[in-house]
């Protein structure tokens, strides 16, 4: 699960926030490993909710919007010492559809979702037999 809290933004006469919560289901393949190093590649789907909060003007229709995406992840893992491992991963996301949030009156959207996204992580883990 990933939680990206709503971040407040101001544009023209509007004040709003947009956030995202999603989980993924991926199938993968170990390109290298087992041993002291491993490389995994996965692909799958993500689903969650894009959270919208309107602070001003008066909100009409703010809330959660269904957010689906296709994802692909690559993770490199190395054994640090004993059962401890370290890893670095990158994930690309391509949402199905693009949300544009508008304020009544102006013709231009105050927010437009990106057609692609990405994230990276670094972690330390412990493997149990």
In this predicted structure, the answer to whether residue 109 has a pLDDT above a threshold of 70 is: no
pLDDT in tens, 25-34: 999 998 876 6
Mean pLDDT of the 86-97 span: 92
Long-range CB contacts for residues 48-51, cutoff 8 Å, separation at least 24:
48/2, 48/20, 48/21, 48/22, 48/23, 49/20, 49/21, 49/22, 50/18, 50/19, 50/20, 50/99, 50/113, 51/6, 51/17, 51/18, 51/19, 51/20, 51/21
pTM assigned to the model = 0.70
Question: pLDDT-based confidence at 60, cuts 50/70/90?
Answer: low
* Higher-scoring residue by pLDDT: 8, 90: 90
Mean pLDDT of the 99-112 span: 65
């Amino acid at each position: 699960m990933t939680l990206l809290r709503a971040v407040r933004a101001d544009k023209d006469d509007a004040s709003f926030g947009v956030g995202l919560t999603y989980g993924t289901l991926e199938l993968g393949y170990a390109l290298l490993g087992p041993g002291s190093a491993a490389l995994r590649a996965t692909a799958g789907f993500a689903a969650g909710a894009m959270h919208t909060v309107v602070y001003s003007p008066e909100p009409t229709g703010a809330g959660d919007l269904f957010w689906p995406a296709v994802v692909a992840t690559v993770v490199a893992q190395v054994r640090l010492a004993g059962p401890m491992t370290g890893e670095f991963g990158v994930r690309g996301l391509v949402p199905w559809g693009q949300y544009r949030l508008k304020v009544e009156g102006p013709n231009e959207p105050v927010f437009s979702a990106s057609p692609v996204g990405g994230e990276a992580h670094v972690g330390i883990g412990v493997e149990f037999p």
